């Protein structure tokens, strides 16, 4: 009976490791795709949600090269970072839905080329789109991108932790 547990525990660890790498990579790809292809420019809090996913990629990738207990700790660290992004997503979605006040101002993307004249730079500043943190630029069934990040990140982190717990038993 012990070999079956080892097999199941091994599969759980492999799945947790793959999920810890693929989830932040997929969410970042979606964020960049919506920005570069869909034209949805991120606000400041959108960027905040990306940072933990970038950070999660490092321990998740390293977990493929490390053996033993360190591998489990790396996967757990990646899951924690994914959960942090989800928590930021909850906060951002709450700001978008008007549940609470945000803590940041609006942001804008401005191209201030070095060779542009002062008049061209001023025109660029005045004509730049403002990306408000309290307005969802896109929703699906009433759920914003921040809301989807919260759902997928927190659900994924919980799944990874459950898989690691199954492995530990």
Summarised one tens digit per residue, pLDDT across range 108-122 is 556 566 667 778 777
Among 52-56, 97-101, 154-158, the least confident range:
97-101
Which candidate, 66, 45, 72, places its Cα nearest to that of 144? 45
pTM: 0.77
Q: Into how many domains does the chain fold?
A: 1
pLDDT category, 139, cuts 50, 70, 90? low
* Percent share of the chain, pLDDT over 70: 81
Write down the mean pLDDT value for the chain: 83
Q: Check pLDDT > 80 for residue 1.
A: no
Instruction: Determine the structural domain holding residue 32 and report its residue range.
Output: 2-168
Q: Check pLDDT > 60 for residue 5.
A: no
Summarised one tens digit per residue, pLDDT across range 38-85 is 888 888 888 899 999 999 999 999 999 998 899 999 999 999 999 999
Of 38-42, 139-143, 154-158, the range with the highest mean pLDDT is 154-158
Q: Is the model more confident about 150 or about 100?
A: 150
CA–CA distance from 45 to each of 83, 92, 99, 118, 159 (Å)? 15, 6, 16, 30, 25
Q: Any residues with CB less than 8 A from the CB of 159 and at least 6 apart, and which?
A: 16, 19
């Amino acid at each position: 009976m012990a070999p079956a547990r080892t097999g199941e525990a091994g599969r759980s660890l492999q799945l947790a490791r793959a999920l810890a790498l693929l989830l932040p990579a997929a969410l970042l790809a979606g964020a960049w795709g919506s920005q570069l292809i869909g034209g949805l420019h991120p606000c400041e809090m959108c960027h905040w949600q990306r940072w933990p996913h970038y950070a999660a990629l490092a321990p998740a990738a390293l977990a493929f090269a490390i053996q033993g207990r360190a591998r489990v700790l790396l996967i757990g660290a990646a899951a924690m970072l994914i959960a942090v992004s989800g928590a930021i997503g909850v906060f951002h979605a709450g700001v978008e839905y008007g549940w609470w006040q945000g803590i940041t101002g609006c942001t804008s993307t401005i191209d201030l080329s070095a060779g542009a004249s002062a008049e061209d730079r001023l025109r660029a500043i005045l004509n730049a789109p403002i990306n408000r943190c309290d307005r969802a630029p896109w929703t699906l069934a009433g759920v914003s991108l921040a809301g989807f990040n919260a759902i997928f990140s927190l659900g994924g982190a919980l799944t990874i932790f459950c898989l690691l717990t199954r492995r530990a038993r």
